[in-house]
Amino acid sequence: MRDARSTGPGDLLDRRASGILLHPTSLPGPNGCGDIGAPADAFLAWLERAGQRLWQMLPIGPIGYGNSPYSAHSTFAGNTLLISLEALEKEGWLERAQPPSRLPHGRVNYAATARHRVRRLRQAFDNFRVRGHPASFEAFCAREAGWLDDFALYSALRDHQRGPPWVAWPAPLRDREPAALDEAKRSLAETIDFHRFCQWVFDRQWADLRQRSAAHGVALIGDLPIFLAHDSADVWANRRLFFLDERGAPTVVAGVPPDYFSRTGQRWGNPLYRWEVLEREGFSFWIERIRRALSQFDLVRLDPFIGFVRYWEIPASCETAIEGRWRPVPGRALFGAVKEQLGLERLPFIAEDLGAVSEEVFELRDALQLPGLKLLQFAFGDDPQAESFLPHNYERRSVVYTGTHDNDTLRGWWEDVGGEASTRTREQIIREKEAVRRYVPGRPSQIVWNMIRLALLSVANPPIFPTQDSLEVGTSARMNRPGTVGGNWEWRLRTLPPERAERLASLSATYARTGRKP
């Protein structure tokens, strides 16, 4: 199959293709969660068989609060839970060993998985120390020193402090006093080196994954959240870029205002950027973020895109998002600097333009020639953008999703009857189903594949489906329930059914999404 990277980002978005949304932790595998080794290879083969040209993931940074990939401890580092232990065994860094039988093969138990994988990575590191540092390790550390040194030190300090956020560390470390950092670098040198080793391994394996993906004709799509977790190496090392007090605590935080879905809005709690400082520094922090993301992915989703036009500023003392205000962001200047500094003729981004967006958001998106999102699951209800989510209103330059990681699965959405666990009333569900029946052909029992068909036959480039929808699984397979803690991000595939791949390939070929004849 054609190399997915033999074309630029414009071609990837302009041609008729389709793809699948699946985070690597959700893949089958023996070590507690999926990873970018053999489990990823099996999925790439399945994607090729299914005629899919795109694999979209969630953020791949080291997970933080709530095991969420959106609360990563670094925007630059990789999640070491995704490292293939089998690949390390084949390279001779690890002796072959059976994973503990207590590790579940169903949902991810992050605590148990992390203990197992870190123990094995430390065994590999011991062998690495005995053999001596190869030239590729030294080259990686030199090339990525701009973020790697701070991340490795931050991670070693977290280990030493047994997990509290950096704002709760002893003041000299919290405030990065040079003498305290120098002492930590001396006393924690081995642990710091361990974290550098893990990132080197991740980087090598990720580069190999990109080559294997291209060989299958599959391009990779990443996800770049605009806001960072407060408890991250990035905020700790760059306090000048954020609204923080003298102790490092946020003075204002991110969120969204009250709307149809929430009377009190959403208080996300992320620290907010000092955009005037970022602009004065030539947006260098953001340029390096994007440079790193584009070294890992062919396309990147910017989430949420509204944050490049304006953000909702909430006083940190407020418990809800009601008492916030909109503040402007120099998005045009930022993307101008990105194009100039990275030498990009066309920006390889997808704009997540859902929610309480304004006309200014669409104007910036269109000025940058970025595709926006169409969410088919929201096309039949009371969403403010519902009409634009109907397939007959799509533009070619748009990405249509049957649902995202934050939505119920299509089957779960259709089978929802309302109640306390639902985000819709029974009356809303009845109206929505009536609208679906008028618009979507076929029997209700075929709703999932008929919705997939709608996305495929549309003019949007491209449609992307959560794996759960191609498997027709229900609410129990949902990836995330926004506003809840516990039980999220844990869903895993058990198998990759070939018959589902064949059905998706047939439909995709029918609507000229595969480059093959039906």
Q: Which residues are catalytic?
A: 303, 352, 406
Maximum CA extent, the chain: 70
Q: CA-CA distance, 356 to 465, in Å (whole number)?
A: 23
Q: Do the Cβ atoms of 35 and 480 come closer than 8 Å?
A: no
Phi-psi region of 483 (alpha: psi -120 to 50; beta: other; left: phi over 0): left
Q: Which residues contact 240 (CB under 8 A, 6 or more apart)?
A: 274, 277
In the chain, the amino acid numbered 141 is: C
In the chain, the amino acid numbered 37 is: G
Which one, of 375, 380, 392, 382, lies nearest residue 438 by Cα?
380
Q: Do the Cβ atoms of 494 and 106 come closer than 8 Å?
A: yes
Q: Do the Cβ atoms of 77 and 147 come closer than 8 Å?
A: yes
Q: Report residue 385 as tokens.
A: 């953008």
Strand ranges across the sheet with 266-271? 266-271, 252-256, 310-315, 325-328
Which one, of 100, 70, 102, lies nearest residue 85 by Cα?
100
Q: Work out whether the CA dihedral 293, 298, 304, 310 comes out positive or negative.
A: positive
Radius of gyration of the chain (CA): 23
Beta strand pairing call for 310-315 and 325-328: antiparallel
Q: CA-CA distance, 415 to 418, in Å (whole number)?
A: 9
Partners of 314 in beta bridges: 253
Instruction: For residue 348, count CB atoms less than 10 angstroms from its CB and return exposed for 0-12, middle for 13-18, buried for 19 or more.
Output: buried
Q: Do the Cβ atoms of 62 and 78 come closer than 8 Å?
A: yes
Coil, helix or strand at residue 446? helix
Q: CA-CA distance, 81 to 490, in Å (whole number)?
A: 13
Which one, of 476, 256, 260, 462, lies nearest residue 381 by Cα?
260
In the chain, the amino acid numbered 204 is: R
Q: CA-CA distance, 302 to 296, in Å (whole number)?
A: 15
Length of the chain, in residues: 518
Instruction: For residue 344, count CB atoms less than 10 angstroms from its CB and return exposed for 0-12, middle for 13-18, buried for 19 or more.
Output: middle
Coil, helix or strand at residue 172? helix
Residue 282's CB: how many other CB atoms inside 10 A? 13
Residue 457's CB: how many other CB atoms inside 10 A? 15
